[in-house]
Amino acid sequence: MYTSVPGLDVAYADGVLRLELARPAKRNAIDDPMMYGLLDAIDAAGRDDAVRVILLTGAGEDFCAGFDIIGRNAPGAPKPRAGSLQRRLPGHAHRLIPLLAEVQTPVVCAVHGWAAGIGLAIALAADFTIAAADTRFWAPFTERGFTADSGVSWMLPRRIGEVRARDMLELGRIVSGTEAAEWCMVHRSVDGDGADLEAAVGELVGRLASSATVALGLTKWLQHAGARSPFEAHLRNEAFAMELSSRTEDFRVGMRSLVEKQAPVFTGR
């Protein structure tokens, strides 16, 4: 069901779908095959009852240095027609970021090295991003003479405030993993080497993979929908989500564990 593509290693095991950006020689810059591979895998995971967590990682020294605009604009490459960007983006990067935000499966992002451009956007869109302390988050757009895409200019002000967002978006400020955690841009940062980051990510992924998956997914949906819903509509959504979650096997397990005073063992059903 899940297939690797050039530049993207895809693997499933024990409820976790691992998506590893695998172009380390290019700092894991995303090209078209990688993008469509990510879209296909995440879309499928959202419909797959076996997947309880999606984990995004990067091979080598960096997470993702952005989209491979150098490869797309290489000498000899066919020049696109006018309007190419506005035609391509809705089914490309501008589909990936909403998909990460809306899929009812927890998304964890492990970040190290550079996280720039769409790499930054993916880190912002994930439910939980854990970054190495020396990670470099960068919105390089104006530094290269163009404007932000992938929802970065929407997510950053809401996550870190307008003043800090202007520093990043207009002045090109590079933010460390430590600063990003202090600013609540990411879930947390981790000091130490790659093994420490892997351990922290593994602990979080394990916790999510053993949680009540349906309730988690609906809680994610409530938060995403609630950002743009009136209070009365949000209360209706909460009632709907409670109705669905209370019909799951995990709900019955949770109630039984409460009576028996034991830790619940959820199956994700």
pLDDT digits (tens, 9 = 90+) for 20-71: 999 999 999 999 999 999 999 999 999 999 999 999 999 999 999 998 765 5
What was the pLDDT predicted at 192? 84
Q: Is the pLDDT of residue 74 over 70?
A: no
Query: Does 147 share its domain with 24?
Result: yes
Query: How far, CA to CA in Å, does 184 sit from each of 54, 131, 175, 269?
Result: 21, 12, 12, 32
Res 53: pLDDT:
98
Mean pLDDT of 122-151: 92
- Structure-block tokens of residue 163: 């003043």
Does 195 lie in the same domain as 93? yes
Q: What is the pLDDT of residues 151-188, one digit of tens each?
A: 999 999 999 999 999 999 999 999 999 999 999 999 99
Asked if 217 and 248 touch (Cβ cutoff 8 Å), the reply is no
226 and 123 together in one domain: no
What is the reported pLDDT for 143?
A: 81
Residue 192 lies in a domain: yes
Query: What's the pLDDT at 90?
Result: 55
Work out the pLDDT band at 262, boundaries 50, 70, 90.
confident
Q: Containing H/E element for 57?
A: strand 53-58
Residue 193 pLDDT grade (very low, low, confident, very high; cuts 50, 70, 90)? confident
pLDDT at 85: 58
For residue 178, give the nearest of 197, 155, 204, 206 by alpha carbon: 197
- Between CA 12 and CA 105 the distance in angstroms is 14
In terms of domains, do 172 and 218 share one?
no
pLDDT exceeds 80 at position 83: no
Question: In the predicted model, what is the mean pLDDT of the chain?
Answer: 91
The fraction of the chain above a pLDDT of 90, given in percent, is 77
Instruction: Out of 24-28, 30-34, 112-116, 262-266, pick the least confident.
Output: 262-266
> How confident is the model at residue 69, as a pLDDT?
64
Is the separation of the CB atoms in 121 and 93 below 8 Å?
A: yes
Q: Do residue 94 and residue 31 come from a single domain?
A: yes
User: Would you say residue 2 lies in a domain?
Assistant: no
pTM of the model: 0.91
Range of the domain at 228: 213-260
Q: Does residue 120 sit in the same domain as residue 242?
A: no
Q: What does the pLDDT average to over 211-224?
A: 94
Asked whether residue 4 carries a pLDDT value surpassing 90, the answer given is yes
Asked if 19 and 151 sit in the same domain, the reply is yes
